[in-house]
Homo-oligomer: A and B are copies of this chain.
Amino acid sequence: MLDICLLGCGGMMPLPNRALTSLMVRYNGSTIMIDCGEATQLTIRRQGWSFKPIDVLLVTHFHADHISGLPGLLLTMGNAERTEPLTIVGPPGVEKVVNSLRVIAPELPFPIQFVELHEKEEIMNLVGLKITAFKVNHNIVCYGYSMELARSGKFDVEAAKGLGLPVQLWNPLQKGQTVTYEGKEYTSDMVMGADRKGLKVTYCTDTRPVPTIAEHAKDSDLFICEGMYGDAEDAKKAREKKHMTMYEAAELAREADVQELWLTHFSPSLIKPKMYLDKVQGIFPHTEMGKDRMTKVLNFEDEQDGSQ
């Protein structure tokens, strides 16, 4: 199960009724955040989620609306008595930028580990999830992220019995281990079915709609993407400022064949994003307009009750 909250859906500056765009994903007692603009900690508090289990912060880029809330968040995590390390992943210079912001948060009760991205695509395994960072096309270096929760195949009881393996060896094999029984070696694949469909979430702001986005969002259960502008006449502005329109985002979603698209990072000049929904759904029907603190629980396909 992945427990997802789009904390805010605004771009550029926080507004009284629209927090800056940021994502929180809870999995197995850990929390992964993407971006942390000014006042993001307020939204987490409104949502009632805990600061303490934030283990990973993925930073898309260093524009203030995506990182200005970091010093305050770090201090609040410290006040929540976190002592475990926090991993911060981001574009080149992430350590320097974070340390520069920490001029006002120099002392924390937990260490920070940095992962500095350099390649077009980088894959990490963090808190049990496969995280892929992919470089997009903004006016400064910017990355999108996908998070995947793998799901192994079903254990084949008949195969295990057929091999004559005693029950106490089944569990290590289910966990992917190799066991030896009566002088013979048994590998996991001898008793496990093919991997089943897992869960995938892809998040992407701020960028032009480049092909790598659809490639990395491919088959996502949820694709969260900027839709900065809704008016057709803003297409030029989107190109100039290296952002995208809602329609460009919807085309990416269609191409990536995702289950659902949430739009976010709305321009402050865009008062009612919902007025564009019909038009966007004409391109990709499973589109939702982002709202502050919009949540979704993603379950494996045959486990809709939330258990894993």
Contact = CB atoms under 8 A, between A and B. Distances in A.
Interface of A: 12-16, 37-39, 41-42, 45-46, 62-65, 67-69, 71-72, 75-76, 79, 96-97, 100-101, 103-105
A12 B79 contact: yes
B14 A39 contact: yes
A12 B79 CA distance: 10
Contact of A104 (B13, B14, B75, B97): B97
Contact of A67 (B14, B39, B104): B104
Contacts of A38: 38-39, 41-42, 68-69, 71-72
B41 A72 contact: no
B100 A103 contact: yes
Nearest to A97: B103
Contacts of A39: 14, 38-39, 42
Copies of this chain held together in the complex: 2
A79 to B, nearest CB: 7
A230 to B, nearest CB: 20
A15 B39 CA distance: 10
A14 B68 contact: no
29 contacts: A12-B79, A13-B75, A13-B79, A14-B39, A14-B42, A14-B72, A15-B45, A16-B42, A16-B45, A38-B41, A38-B42, A38-B69, A38-B71, A38-B72, A39-B42, A62-B103, A63-B104, A64-B72, A64-B75, A64-B105, A65-B72, A68-B71, A68-B72, A68-B104, A96-B103, A97-B104, A100-B101, A100-B103, A101-B103
Contacts of A75: 13, 64
A103 B61 CA distance: 12
A41 B14 CA distance: 8
A45 B37 CA distance: 17
A275 B182 CA distance: 76
Contacts of A104: 62-64, 67-68, 97, 101
